[in-house]
Structure 1
């Protein structure tokens, strides 16, 4: 069976399961959550980049990079969900390109969130030398490196697949990251799982190490004594958000494992993929602007100043 026929059969079966269970209706909550997040994220980005003090701070630059990667992911995810819901015929090359960019945005967000934890540890561990260790110029280079690292593997796969493909004009009725990577997995069973597992293991190990060291460094300061201390609440909130960021990746790895299993029902695969794509992937990106953004007093103060200036200008204009 040729690759084109395999792709056509897989996508057609997927569409039939979507229609049978009316899962295309998931585009409604996906659209609502995405639009709400795309309203909040630009506001926080404006607060960061319009304030000279904030854009000189490493933690706010990392936050801005996370929000930017999340916005790119949400836009591509929403476009994919809508196209799949209306049954639009998408060129396979476009689908592969969207897959590569989506994986890049997701991995970039995970890497940046991991760096945010490491940045917090560095600020607490070496407060006197922190600004010398991570000046803004070095942070900019680190962020460029994060995007490059996140993009290398998915775009390498894209180039390899395109170089070995004979037909370049076929179209598919459904475009999913799972189908694109699942099809690549036919030829490289170990590579994709190894990439996601190693990347997740490195990030999780660094996060756990930083949190353990943070606790050991700060336990003598008395900030952990009260049950509802700010440190405990912050740690709990960040822990939940990190879990929400990492969980969809592990679910996606499970999806790849199920993709070619004959003993797994097609309906089960479609349900798991749809829920992960339309719910689990959106939860951390919906919470992030409010947890990471509004909990920072400097961002809240900057936002209030911008609103106050806007109201004053509006009042002057009306007068």
Structure 2
């Protein structure tokens, strides 16, 4: 009997043959309705679930899958996977930390350049037949604060320091001994010494609204914020207030609190660049991610340790 994998992720269709060639039977359920129907109709046959952090897997869904042995998460974040419920059943959880870091870092810098140099409005102006020139800041010599210096944060820091000559500081739970960047003990201290703050920390309760009104204010009127992590890390109301009032110069956002729903007030702001959670999507990154999922599944179902386990307390 083949191993059945429930696929909840909607962005990897072109790479699903990698899993099928490895011998896995796939059930695709990439909408909320299809997900509910698949668990109800096929719950007794599902051995593994492929999901991503914002989609997660709820305790009641885990309970409805009696054969479930492993939950594989694309990307680093797994904030909506109920780890406690998985742990009670002895279900293995894996993630894809670091695999798409280059793509996410590229996108973070693209958002930063777009908002700092005001590229969307300049483009729209030219398309309207205008020739309006506005003086905008450059990145050279600016102080960059990276919130979360994991694989993505490191890739961002290297691009900023080596490519743009920026001074880099960071905040993480503890200082890293393998970098020369300046460590700050908290997000506020980092923001106060930064011109730009890029958020690359995991989501979840321990980082919820870590970037609050106080941290945003510390960036100042000429400061910029970029978020390629999770919408929950930022107090969205405080961010909107700061952007509206001119207390923050601009923001580039790839992630939001309730995706795919984005507040209309945020859409209406002229000093924001918005993208639909695509930072980690590139052909190379998605292929590598699905290949890692495949290797984790093959390892687990052959009795070997998985490559990228998530620690369940």
* TM tier, smaller: under 0.3
| TM-score for both structures, normalised by structure 2 | 0.24
Return the index of the structure with the highest Cα Rg: 1
| TM-score for both structures, normalised by structure 1 | 0.24
More helix by share: 1
More strand by share: 2
